[in-house]
A and B are shown apart, each in its own frame.
Chain A
Amino acid sequence: MTHLPLWFIPLFPLIGTILLGTIAVVSSGAKKGPSEGLVGTLAVLFPALSFAVVAILACSMPEAGFRETLCNWIDIPLFRADIGFLFDGLSRIMLLFVTGIGSLIAMYSIGYMHGDRGFARFFAYINLFLFSMVVLVLADSLLLTFLGWEGVGLCSYLLIGFWNQDLKNCKAANKAFIVNRVGDIGFLLGMLTLVTIGGSSLLNYDGLAAFINMVIGAGEVVELVLPLSLAGLLFFIGCTGKSAQIPLLTWLPDAMAGPTPVSALIHAATMVTSGVYLLARLSMMFCLLEHVLLIIVFVGMFTALWAAIAGLLQNDIKKVLAYSTISQLGYMFMAAGVCAFDASIFHVFTHAFFKAALFLGAGAVIHSLAGEQDMRRMGGLINKTPVTACVMIFAFLAIVGFPGFAGFWSKDLILERIFVSGPILGPIVYVVGLATAVITAVYMGRLIIMTFFGKYRGDKETEEHIHEAPAVMLFPMVILAFGAIFSGYLWADSIGLTFFRDSMASVVGHAQALYLAANPAAHVNPVIFAALGTLAALGGMYIAWKVFSRARIIGVKGASTVPEGSAASWTFLWDYIHCAFIAGVNILAWFCDVVVEKVLQAIQWTIAAIVEILGDGASILQVRKVRLQLSFSVAGVALLVMLVIFSGGLV
């Protein structure tokens, strides 16, 4: 073996988890927490080592990628699964930014979490998250991916509820886990469907691709489309849970209860994109399932539009970013729905940079305002925190798709691919996507204006303490801002850079070629799309400037940051729908507890009571009444004698 073993990549965060977890548990009893320097160093060191391994492997990777089977996992009749890793064009890109951004955010957290009592515990969770995420991405089979899939869900739960003294955070954490669990069951049942179709070897990605190729070769696609569609749909339910798409999206805005670095890492850059990753990983299967793809396009489209509008109505700076994440994920699913998996992964990649930068910037703002998250009590911060403001403005330009910035390249690519995907459907979805781009520019412009421009609207006391974040926080932000500007040049079609597409081609190229063969794309001049995209971004920014720079925003005193009036019912629409289901379960539980259980107890009591009454009755005979006893005895003897006589004498 000439290359580094693949299991090194998850090994380092795992060691980090164990070390930091031990430190956290051991020091938990002590008055003073462990040394922050030591914990911080360990916390950044292990993700960074993992990143280094990925980088070395990435450089030496052959076209086909590395494969490695560690050992057997489950081996029973009907089912067999191995623990194995697969490092190819897709997992390379994902791992690079997962471990890279993971290390940066761990570093940022050292500053952000400074002085927190759960310092070591926090980094143990972060390392555990990175371990799970690496396993999710690096796994060579669906079952092992599922280990990472639930693992990241678990870490998300632990980190959302990190400040567990406050029950509100715990509730948000529970919600995130349970909503994700619903999706996970979809994933689980999807795996079972695949096992039923062709045995447990189908859970292996290579095995699945081989199987699909065999099916296509034998011309039996038609017979298998139905079961495969079922599997695809179930997997997509899993994706909607993890990637916060309609209808399982309600947990993500609530998840903002966690510390801001967590929101940046888990709920923006990495974990929530694993649904998109899964679709790309299963591209060979999905490219055959036209109906499922149609569902994916529409779910992505509605999610993107709905979340963008909901983002307009938020007052909490992190909630705006949360809805923006949902909206951007909608774009990625739209792309996946037209089998443009490379474009969707490219958007995952660029989005990771600019959204992480935005979240870290928001975190720095919150940090400097001593925990204030309501944008109505911000404003004018550009003078006081210039670096943060610059980082966020660059990231803002990236997300709205300003020409030259990362989001411009990836978003335009997606919109272009959508337009050419079909004669009727394509333009419709394209128009909605473009409208969403305008709204994106509006709400992001609103965020920047309300936070950094105008006058400060908070109270005087906080104003005096506003300060720029420490260097340990600024450094990762600046690097991410560079990413937000330049990461788009890995695939800038109009200027002839296609590095990203070429590196993905070995994984998803075949599937996309199959899809294109079935649905030939019309050729359109890409310059038009770039122009329209630019127009949308500029138009949106102009609207935002017109509306929000003049608008008089009242610095409210109340603690609630939820949108007022009808806006609330709009943003909580899906929560209400979920509530109906929850109410159903609760009613069922009530029925079991109060009706069924009581009836059963009543039956139990009745039987016991009957026995007792009979016993009481019998005990009446056990009294001192000599004559009664005697007469019973005589009657008994008489009965016995009669029996003997009538039954034929003594035998």
Chain B
Amino acid sequence: MLLNLLVIAPFVAAILMVLNSKEDSSASSRMAILMGVAFAAMSVALIVTGNQATTPVEWFHIPGTRGPVYYYLYAHGLGAWMVFLSCGLSLVALISARSITGKSYRNFAIGIFALMGAMNGTFLAADAVLFFFFFEAMVIPAAILIAAFGGEKRTTAAMTFAIYTLVGSAPMMVALWYLLTIADNSLLLSMAVAIQSLPADTQTLVMLSFLLAFLVKTPIFPFHGWQAITYAEAPAPLSAILTGAMSKAGVFGFIAWVLPIFPLNLNYISGLMWLGLGTAIYGALMALRATDGKRLLAYSSMSHLGFAVAGVFSLSEAMLPAVLVLLVAHGISAGVQYFLMGVAERMTGTRNINEMGGLSSKNPVFSFLFGAAGVMALAVPGTAGFVGEFTVLLSLWDLGPLPALVGGFCLILSATYVLRFVQKVIFGKPAREYQEGTRTTALEGVAFGSMLALLLAFGLHPAFVTNSLHLFDEEITEESTMEVVEEVAEPAEQPMTAEELRELDSTLAASGFTEEERKALIAQIQSETLAVDSAVAASEAAEDSVEAQGAAEEQAAAVGTDSSAAGAEPPAVETEKTEASENE
């Protein structure tokens, strides 16, 4: 229910906003903010109540594919936190936008709600087609909002953004369709099974198509061409959502879709890790030279997300919690920095940081928030950013000192550009005379302040965030394992996957097992780090097997843990063995 609400209700909210008068922005803003609060509360509830899934509903058939597309939502720790970012940042954006949109606030709110619904759908979809649908749908409201409310070059920015990201994910669409023609349905596990039967070259091609979409969305060097101009020209509240929540869809895609589906080999993993680190350095260097405040923040985001992607492909045991904390921390801190930059822009009337300065004496409250946000972006210990970056560095150190050293260099650079940014904006003397625009309103101040407080809270007690990842484990210990084994044994007896499994078994026996011996180490690491993801996959398998007859949550939890356990220990049942190897 909660899942459906989070995905569908924002669209309903967008439609409801139409009821408001176009003239009276205060009424529409009240309504929008109230609904925003409701969504934010729901997203918190989603995190608190743990993993859950809806009943899969057959949606439609794509011509040429074998199985149906389901409307099927699933929340695990990672997705739930991303939904929290999307709802929370949208709420603050709705608050902050009151001062810049004027009378067209209603239209802005409509766009934000549509964007929020699409983002939530992206993070919660359990069906690949549904995921892709929302993944693409995000672009449209965002592009329209940029074109309607952006800066001077808004049409260029909107076009660049829309075309770049849509073209970037076009290969993924083709690859997805191709996969669906050989897979039973568009759920994670059947796709992971289907990819095994393809020749190696085709596998690579399909994987690269998927990777491209996420590389563009994140963005990762050299696919970042759309990012700086988009973030700079978009209205600041929207930029905050784009960087804080939407860009996470890229990293989310790597974790939730690429890693479970594709059998990545070591070259790709280390290649992607280095690509991530390169992006981190490149973004930081670009941020060093940027003079446009919003561009600077865009490059800083790029740097942080590159770091996160490097963390993902370190594939260490600590990867998932580390990256999750980093993403949450970055979402909040980059978000609040964008909001504050928006306030600075509307106060001084410029985005050029060389023309700002002196705000600390003119507007001390704003400067306090701005400085504090800067400090939190520096990943000072005690803030969430530190926990994220430290643990990601730990994961990188697992691969060797060199990646960690590069990561450390990146931290030094981040200190440099953040301090330069803070100094140019709030310290010194005003660089020029200007008519002062709207200051920070009280509601804005409270919103920004609570975002900063969240960063502190997550920094001092990251268990708030990381615990959502092992909600499984605690439930499992309570349940008897015998039941679980029976549950798992069922899927193999079902006629729909049995053929596939046998096929897979034979292919693995022929070629895969020798390969596994060679790459035993990689495979092991992969199976361990993907425990949660494979749990997702396994739960879907269970869903299929019982023909999606309710009771999803318990089974999901139960089956999920068993398969992760099977990854670690030699399984007794043959069907389990095949499943474990699939996950690898």
Contact of A76 among B321, B365, B427 (CB under 8 A): B321
Contact (Cβ within 8 A) A189 B404 = yes
Contact (Cβ within 8 A) A589 B288 = yes
Q: How far is the CA of A164 from the CA of B318 in the complex (A)?
A: 41
Q: How far is the CA of A585 from the CA of B288 in the complex (A)?
A: 10
Report B351-404 residues with CB < 8 Å from chain A CB: 358, 360-361, 364-365, 368, 375, 380-382, 386-387, 390-391, 393-395, 397-398, 401, 404
Query: By the criterion of a CB under 8 Å from any partner CB, how many residues of chain A are at the interface?
Result: 52
- A378 contacts the other chain (CB 8 A): no
Contact (Cβ within 8 A) B394 A170 = no
Bits for B401-418, please: 1 = Cβ < 8 Å to A, else 0. 100110011011101100
Bits for A113-137, please: 1 = Cβ < 8 Å to B, else 0. 0000000000000000000000000
Within 8 Å CB of B397, what residues of A? 189, 192-193, 195-196
- A609 contacts the other chain (CB 8 A): no
Contact (Cβ within 8 A) A78 B411 = no
With A76-B321, A164-B428, A170-B427 already in contact, the answer to whether A28 and B365 are too (CB < 8 A) is: yes
Contact (Cβ within 8 A) B364 A29 = yes
Closest to A196 in B: B397
Which of B412, B420, B427 has the most A CB atoms < 10 Å from its CB? B427
With A151-B381, A154-B375, A592-B282 already in contact, the answer to whether A75 and B427 are too (CB < 8 A) is: no
- A496 contacts the other chain (CB 8 A): no
Closest to B465 in A: A76
Report B270-302 residues with CB < 8 Å from chain A CB: 282, 285-286, 288-289
- A15 contacts the other chain (CB 8 A): no
Bits for B441-467, please: 1 = Cβ < 8 Å to A, else 0. 000000000000000000011110010
- A631 contacts the other chain (CB 8 A): no
Contact of B463 among A72, A154, A181 (CB under 8 A): A72
Q: How far is the CA of A73 from the CA of B321 in the complex (A)?
A: 14
B370 to chain A, nearest CB (A): 12
Contact (Cβ within 8 A) A178 B419 = yes
Task: Give the interface SS of chain A, mostly helix, strand, loop or mixed.
Answer: helix
Closest to B290 in A: A593
Within 8 Å CB of A185, what residues of B? 408-409, 411-412
Bits for A48-81, please: 1 = Cβ < 8 Å to B, else 0. 0000000000000000000000011111111100
Q: How far is the CA of A188 from the CA of B409 in the complex (A)?
A: 12
With A189-B405, A192-B404, A604-B225 already in contact, the answer to whether A78 and B415 are too (CB < 8 A) is: no
- B429 contacts the other chain (CB 8 A): yes
- B316 contacts the other chain (CB 8 A): yes
Q: How far is the CA of A164 from the CA of B411 in the complex (A)?
A: 24
With A74-B391, A192-B404, A585-B285 already in contact, the answer to whether A161 and B427 are too (CB < 8 A) is: yes
Within 8 Å CB of A593, what residues of B? 285-286, 289
Contact (Cβ within 8 A) B317 A165 = no
A267 to chain B, nearest CB (A): 19
Q: How far is the CA of A151 from the CA of B381 in the complex (A)?
A: 7
A198 to chain B, nearest CB (A): 14
Q: How far is the CA of A143 from the CA of B391 in the complex (A)?
A: 12
Contact (Cβ within 8 A) A79 B391 = yes
- B322 contacts the other chain (CB 8 A): yes
Q: How far is the CA of A182 from the CA of B404 in the complex (A)?
A: 14
- A174 contacts the other chain (CB 8 A): yes
- B181 contacts the other chain (CB 8 A): no
Q: How far is the CA of A24 from the CA of B358 in the complex (A)?
A: 18
A585 to chain B, nearest CB (A): 7
Closest to B224 in A: A600
Q: How far is the CA of A325 from the CA of B562 in the complex (A)?
A: 61
Contact of A146 among B286, B381, B415, B428 (CB under 8 A): B381
- A632 contacts the other chain (CB 8 A): no
Contact (Cβ within 8 A) A78 B460 = no
Closest to A164 in B: B427
- B423 contacts the other chain (CB 8 A): yes
Bits for B531-554, please: 1 = Cβ < 8 Å to A, else 0. 000000000000000000000000
Bits for A141-177, please: 1 = Cβ < 8 Å to B, else 0. 0010011011100100100010011110011011001
Contact (Cβ within 8 A) A182 B225 = no
Which of B360, B409, B413, B419 has the most A CB atoms < 10 Å from its CB? B419
A386 to chain B, nearest CB (A): 39
Contact (Cβ within 8 A) A177 B394 = no
Within 8 Å CB of B380, what residues of A? 150-151, 154
Contact (Cβ within 8 A) B289 A79 = no
Bits for A600-632, please: 1 = Cβ < 8 Å to B, else 0. 110010000000000000000000000000000
Q: How far is the CA of A97 from the CA of B285 in the complex (A)?
A: 42
- B222 contacts the other chain (CB 8 A): yes
Q: How far is the CA of A170 from the CA of B393 in the complex (A)?
A: 30
A380 to chain B, nearest CB (A): 37
Within 8 Å CB of B429, what residues of A? 165, 167
- A25 contacts the other chain (CB 8 A): yes
Within 8 Å CB of A72, what residues of B? 463
Bits for B212-243, please: 1 = Cβ < 8 Å to A, else 0. 00000000001001000000000000000000
- A588 contacts the other chain (CB 8 A): yes
Contact (Cβ within 8 A) B428 A147 = no
- A220 contacts the other chain (CB 8 A): no
Within 8 Å CB of A79, what residues of B? 318, 391, 394
Within 8 Å CB of B412, what residues of A? 178, 181-182, 185
Within 8 Å CB of A71, what residues of B? 461
Contact (Cβ within 8 A) A192 B394 = yes
Contact (Cβ within 8 A) B286 A597 = yes
Contact (Cβ within 8 A) B394 A147 = no
With A29-B364, A589-B285 already in contact, the answer to whether A78 and B318 are too (CB < 8 A) is: yes
Q: How far is the CA of A318 from the CA of B382 in the complex (A)?
A: 33
Within 8 Å CB of B368, what residues of A? 25, 28
Q: How far is the CA of A166 from the CA of B423 in the complex (A)?
A: 11
Q: How far is the CA of A232 from the CA of B416 in the complex (A)?
A: 26
Contact (Cβ within 8 A) A164 B360 = yes
- A8 contacts the other chain (CB 8 A): no
Contact (Cβ within 8 A) B365 A195 = no
Contact (Cβ within 8 A) A170 B318 = no
- A499 contacts the other chain (CB 8 A): no
Q: How far is the CA of A590 from the CA of B393 in the complex (A)?
A: 27
Bits for B485-512, please: 1 = Cβ < 8 Å to A, else 0. 0000000000000000000000000000
Bits for B181-212, please: 1 = Cβ < 8 Å to A, else 0. 00000000000000000000000000000000
Which of A74, A188, A589 has the most B CB atoms < 10 Å from its CB? A74
Which of A143, A589, A597 has the most B CB atoms < 10 Å from its CB? A589
Report B321-374 residues with CB < 8 Å from chain A CB: 321-322, 358, 360-361, 364-365, 368
Q: How far is the CA of A57 from the CA of B64 in the complex (A)?
A: 78
Within 8 Å CB of B419, what residues of A? 157, 173-174, 177-178
B431 to chain A, nearest CB (A): 11
With A151-B380, A165-B361, A600-B222 already in contact, the answer to whether A178 and B416 are too (CB < 8 A) is: yes
B143 to chain A, nearest CB (A): 16
Q: How far is the CA of A148 from the CA of B427 in the complex (A)?
A: 25
Closest to A169 in B: B427
A425 to chain B, nearest CB (A): 30
Closest to A582 in B: B416
Bits for B422-444, please: 1 = Cβ < 8 Å to A, else 0. 01001111000000000000000
With A174-B423, A177-B415 already in contact, the answer to whether A165 and B358 are too (CB < 8 A) is: yes
With A78-B318, A600-B225 already in contact, the answer to whether A181 and B411 are too (CB < 8 A) is: yes
Contact (Cβ within 8 A) A174 B420 = yes
Within 8 Å CB of A188, what residues of B? 390, 393, 408, 411
Contact (Cβ within 8 A) A195 B394 = yes
- A–B complex contacts, Cβ < 8 Å, 15 sampled: A29-B364, A75-B463, A77-B321, A78-B395, A161-B427, A164-B426, A174-B423, A177-B419, A188-B390, A189-B405, A195-B394, A195-B397, A592-B282, A593-B286, A600-B222
- New A-B pairs, 11, CB < 8 Å, besides A174-B419, A177-B415, A585-B413: A76-B462, A150-B381, A150-B386, A157-B419, A164-B360, A165-B358, A171-B423, A188-B408, A189-B393, A195-B394, A596-B282
Instruction: Give the top 3 A-B pairs by smallest Cβ distance, nearest first.
Output: A28-B364, A147-B381, A78-B318
